[in-house]
């Protein structure tokens, strides 16, 4: 049975700057290694998290900061990427472009959801299923 990391999340908050991607990738790798994922699965998820963060940073009015939260469940791991600010930022992509990005993220993770409405991305949720 997989180890449960407590009912609270592991949370990383960083400035919304591409120079912070190494910190985000290293944190992601550490959390995923604790979940005993394979090296290939860890690499895929690191790439998905980096792409999600890059999507948030590349918006028309990028947030001041990013928050990446890791939630461990018995059968999986959810990674929630959102802006540190209360207000979501205006996205420069249309719905069709976001659908392509979601499909790419979903091919790296087991599931990817982009909370997009009124031209704004509010958050991105990546899910990785864990094998018993």
Average the pLDDT over 33-59 and give the result.
91
What mean pLDDT, rounded, does the chain reach? Answer: 86
d(CA 120, CA 89): 6
In terms of DSSP bridges, do strands 120-129 and 76-83 run parallel, antiparallel, or are they unpaired?
antiparallel
In a domain, 36, yes or no: yes
More confident residue, 75 or 7: 75
Q: Is residue 115 part of a domain?
A: yes
* CA count, 13 A, side-chain hemisphere, 97: 8
What domain range is 49 assigned to?
Answer: 10-129
Work out how many domains the chain is built from and give that number: 1
The CATH number that applies at residue 26 is 3.30.565.10
Residue 94 in domain: yes
Average pLDDT estimate for 96-105: 91
pTM assigned to the model: 0.86
- Return the H-helix or E-strand segment holding 16: none
Predicted confidence (pLDDT) per residue in 2-24, tens digit: 344 455 589 999 998 889 999 99
Per-residue model confidence (pLDDT) at position 60: 76
Domain-located, residue 2: no
For range 59-77, the mean pLDDT: 86
């Amino acid at each position: 049975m997989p180890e449960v990391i407590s009912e609270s999340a592991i949370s990383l908050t960083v400035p919304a700057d591409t120079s912070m991607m190494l910190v985000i990738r290293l944190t992601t790798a550490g959390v995923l290694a604790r979940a005993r994922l394979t090296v290939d699965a860890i690499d895929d998820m690191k790439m998905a998290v980096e792409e999600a963060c890059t999507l948030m940073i590349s918006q028309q009015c990028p947030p001041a900061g990013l928050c990446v939260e890791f939630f461990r469940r018995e059968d999986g791991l959810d990674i929630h990427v959102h802006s540190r600010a209360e207000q979501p930022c205006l996205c420069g992509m249309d719905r069709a472009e976001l659908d392509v990005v979601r499909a790419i993220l979903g091919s790296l993770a087991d599931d990817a959801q982009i909370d997009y409405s009124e031209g704004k991305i509010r958050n991105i949720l990546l899910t990785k299923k864990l094998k018993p």
